[in-house]
Structure 1
Amino acid sequence: MKDVIFDDFQNSVSESLLRHKSILDIITKLQESQSRINRAIAKSATNCGCIKINVEKQKVPNSYESISDLQSLIETHLKGNLCDNCRDVLEKEIGNNLFYLASLCNVLDLNLYDILLKEYDRINTLGKYSLK
């Protein structure tokens, strides 16, 4: 059932894209949409203040028992939670990013759901050892 949602989304994107059908338009719009996501996150911290980004060098000890221990040692540098307004803005920007990602898949004759499944399989196979 989920593949139907992905395929329907990808088909809807194909039907909706009118002005920016060139591969160059699509890749630059995808890059721009990623920048807008980054900007929205920065504005959540600097304008709204609902989140704080406390960045410092990751503190990874020289020795640890297992790679699983690293999950508890690595920081996200993020404190707080998005307010409703910032969440709405980010969801809109991520939605735009997905639109242009699906557009890129369409122009290259790739199936977004198949790509998702392959990545899901890689993650499940390698788990923490994929080191992404």
Structure 2
Amino acid sequence: MEPNHTPSLEEFQQQVSELLLRHRSLLDVMSKFGQSNTAVNRAVTKAVTDCGCIEINARKQSYSDDLDEAKATMQSHLSGDLCEHCQDILKTELGRNLFYTTALCNLLDIQLTEVVANESKKCSTLGVFNLT
């Protein structure tokens, strides 16, 4: 693969399949997937508590029945921008998380492209009600 080539989901899934030697057990992959989720959460936490490049200021959200107004008033509770260092760490941890998501797909004979296509279709159909 070329250095600047972004692989398709199919290519990435094949690459993961070829690299997954040590954790071929579904249980091993599930535990590594959970561990990678934790590492992502930890990296965000460290960006707040150690680096301070981002801050969290959370409070109760005010909900509106009007969707346009709700979109305009809902907050992420996040301020600041990730510094380059924290962004690099998060990209690494998210990549590892994606690796184990893909490994689960491989072991369960699920095509990652289908997972993304199904989720995209659901998002298009349900819109803002997708994750309620």
Q: TM-score higher than 0.5 here?
A: yes
Aligned to 2:82: 82
* Runs of 4+ in structure 1 over 3 Å off: none
Aligned to 1:11: 14
Query: Which residue identity lines up with residue 119 of structure 2 in the other structure?
Result: E
Query: Which residue identity lines up with residue 16 of structure 1 in the other structure?
Result: L
TM-score with structure 1 setting the length: 0.90
| TM-aligned CA deviation for residue 121 of structure 1 | 0.9
Distance 2:129 2:62 in 1: 19
Aligned to 1:108: 108
**Any idea what SS the aligned residue of 1:121 has?**
helix
Aligned to 2:4: none
| TM-aligned CA deviation for residue 67 of structure 1 | 2.0
Name the stretch that deviates more: 121-130 or 77-86: 121-130
Distance 1:75 1:17 in 2: 39
Aligned-residue sequence identity (percent) comes to: 41
Q: What is the RMSD of the two structures over their aligned residues, measured on CA atoms?
A: 1.3
Query: Which residue identity lines up with residue 96 of structure 1 in the other structure?
Result: R
Distance 1:122 1:89 in 2: 30
Distance 2:45 2:127 in 1: 30
Q: Which runs of 5+ in 2 are unaligned?
A: 1-6
Q: Which runs of 5+ in 1 are unaligned?
A: none
Paired residue total: 126
Distance 1:35 1:131 in 2: 21
Aligned to 1:73: 73
TM-score with structure 2 setting the length: 0.90
Query: Which residue identity lines up with residue 82 of structure 2 in the other structure?
Result: L
Aligned to 1:23: 26
Q: 1:32 aligns with which of 30, 35, 39?
A: 35
User: 1:90-129, aligned counterparts within 5 Å?
Assistant: 90-129=90-129
| TM-aligned CA deviation for residue 126 of structure 1 | 1.6
